Amino acid sequence: MADKRSRTAKGSRSVLAQLDGRLAELDRELERAGELMAERRRLLAARAVLTGERVPVGGSLVRRVTQDEIAAYLMKHPGSRAAGIARDLGVPLTNISQHLHRGRETRFERREDGWHCR
């Protein structure tokens, strides 16, 4: 019985050593990934400066719009749907939807044919 336990302990140590070795490899690879992400953030910031866009937060280069921009769009395109506004302005649909719903009582109105300025 003691012999079986000894083999099990040796086998467990072997598996543990393999796991530790692989974790060390992954840690080295992830260090490189961190360096790449830092370089990506620097390049995105440089791109934003050159294009006049806002410096991205968190490393993404997602264009955002204001309620004023949406209102100007709706003045030219009354009855538009949120997805069409997002597509035409080149922004995420969630950005448009949030602005429309926040301004629903004061600035924007939802009708059967789509969104309008009040």
- 3 and 56 in a common domain: yes
pLDDT at 57: 57
Domain total in the chain? 2
- 54 and 13 in a common domain: yes
Structural domain range at position 36: 1-61
To the nearest 10°, report the CA torsion of 94, 101, 72, 81: 70
Sign of CA dihedral 103, 108, 112, 114: negative
Amino acid identity of residue 32, one-letter, is R
- 35 and 15 in a common domain: yes
pLDDT at 14 over 90: no
- 43 and 71 in a common domain: no
- 108 contacts 118 by C-beta, under 8 angstroms: yes
Enumerate the β-bridge partners of residue 115.
80, 110
The CA distance from 109 to 4, in Å, is 76
Task: Kindly report, residue by residue over 34-47, the tens digit of the pLDDT.
Answer: 777 778 778 877 87
pLDDT at 37: 75
Q: What percentage of the chain reaches a pLDDT higher than 90?
A: 35
- 113 and 78 in a common domain: yes
CATH code for position 83: 1.10.10.10
- 110 contacts 97 by C-beta, under 8 angstroms: no
**Which helix or strand (DSSP H or E) is residue 107 part of?**
none
- 71 and 57 in a common domain: no
* Residue bearing the bigger pLDDT, 79 or 1: 79
- 57 and 1 in a common domain: yes
pLDDT at 34: 73
- 93 and 54 in a common domain: no
Amino acid identity of residue 15, one-letter, is V
- 35 and 84 in a common domain: no
Task: Kindly report, residue by residue over 65-79, the tens digit of the pLDDT.
Answer: 889 999 999 999 999
The CA distance from 38 to 45, in Å, is 11
